[in-house]
């Protein structure tokens, strides 16, 4: 398995530190978001792709509270079993995708991306909140790539833009595929136009693959064009 290829620590909105690990055989983005920079600050991981050891190294002295799974595809979950076992963090996913996460999955490309069953501690739905220290993230149910796909939205504060962890719903210049099992072009269109279109243009998008973008940049070329 390819190890940690790239790690970037960004403070894109001027308030919230986010570590980005580009990791795994499909160049997934795994995000570590913390509610502070001090030792023991609470943190969450979005989409534990690739290598649990690399994620643990990047966590350093942070206290991992939650592992948020934006959807149930293997490439975003390879490190989930080992990371949860090492940290005891609560696993979060939508009920519709939790079934597969809790059942486990064989590898698509061999043993490297097989995922053992992991209990989902918190099954979240649209509009639910996840509190991390002083931060409060909103869950957006965004089916289209999978039935239980979610995005995690942190509204802006102190005049700073909000953050959206979009999984495989929205990329820079594209959306996630809708031709996999559980995918739907109709549901993807509704997710883009009814959920993501409502977010401010300045919202910084942290996608499951490729580089960062904003809602404003994607509004015309993806969200309204899909």
Total domain count for the chain? 1
Specify if 103 maps to a domain.
yes
CB 68 within 8 A of CB 47: yes
Q: What is the pLDDT of residues 14-47, one digit of tens each?
A: 678 999 999 987 899 999 999 998 999 999 999 9
Please, what sign has the CA dihedral across residues 169, 175, 177, 182?
Answer: positive
Phi, psi dihedral angles at 179 (to 5 degrees): -100, 5
Q: Mean of the pLDDT values across residues 54-67?
A: 96
Strand partners, 175: 170
pTM of whole model > 0.85?
yes
What CATH number has the domain bearing residue 17? 3.60.15.10
Considering only 3-7, 96-100, 112-116, 207-211, which range has the smallest mean pLDDT? 3-7
**Domain for residue 23, yes or no?**
yes
What is the rounded CA–CA span in Å between residue 49 and residue 34? 18
Domain that holds residue 181: 6-223
> Does residue 74 sit within a domain?
yes
The C-alpha atoms of residue 122 and residue 94 are separated, in whole angstroms, by 8
- Residue 1 belongs to some domain of the structure: no
In a domain, 167, yes or no: yes
Flag whether 156 is in a domain: yes
Q: Is the dihedral of CA 213, 218, 221, 226 positive or negative?
A: positive
* Structural domain contains residue 62: yes
Domain for residue 203, yes or no? yes
Residue 7 scores a pLDDT above 90: no
State the pLDDT at residue 4: 46
């Amino acid at each position: 398995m390819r190890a940690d290829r790239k790690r970037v620590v960004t403070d894109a909105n001027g308030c919230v530190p986010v570590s980005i690990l580009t990791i795994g055989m499909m160049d997934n983005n795994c995000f570590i978001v913390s509610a502070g920079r001090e030792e023991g600050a609470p943190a969450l991981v979005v989409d534990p792709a690739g290598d649990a050891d690399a994620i643990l190294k990047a966590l350093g002295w942070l206290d991992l509270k939650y592992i948020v799974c934006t959807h149930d595809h293997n490439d975003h979950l390879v490190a989930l079993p080992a990371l949860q076992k090492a940290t005891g963090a609560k696993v979060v996913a939508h009920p519709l995708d939790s079934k597969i996460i809790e059942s486990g999955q064989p590898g698509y490309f061999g043993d490297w991306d097989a995922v053992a069953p992991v209990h989902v501690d918190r099954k979240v739905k649209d509009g639910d909140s996840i509190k991390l220290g002083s931060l409060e993230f909103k869950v957006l149910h965004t089916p289209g790539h999978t039935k239980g796909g979610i995005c995690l939205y942190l509204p802006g504060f102190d005049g700073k833009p909000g953050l959206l962890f979009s999984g495989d719903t929205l990329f820079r210049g594209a959306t996630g595929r809708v031709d996999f099992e559980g995918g739907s072009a109709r549901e993807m269109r509704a997710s883009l136009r009814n959920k993501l279109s409502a977010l401010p243009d300045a919202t910084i998008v942290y996608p499951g693959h490729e580089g960062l973008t904003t809602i404003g940049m994607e509004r015309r070329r993806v969200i309204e064009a899909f």
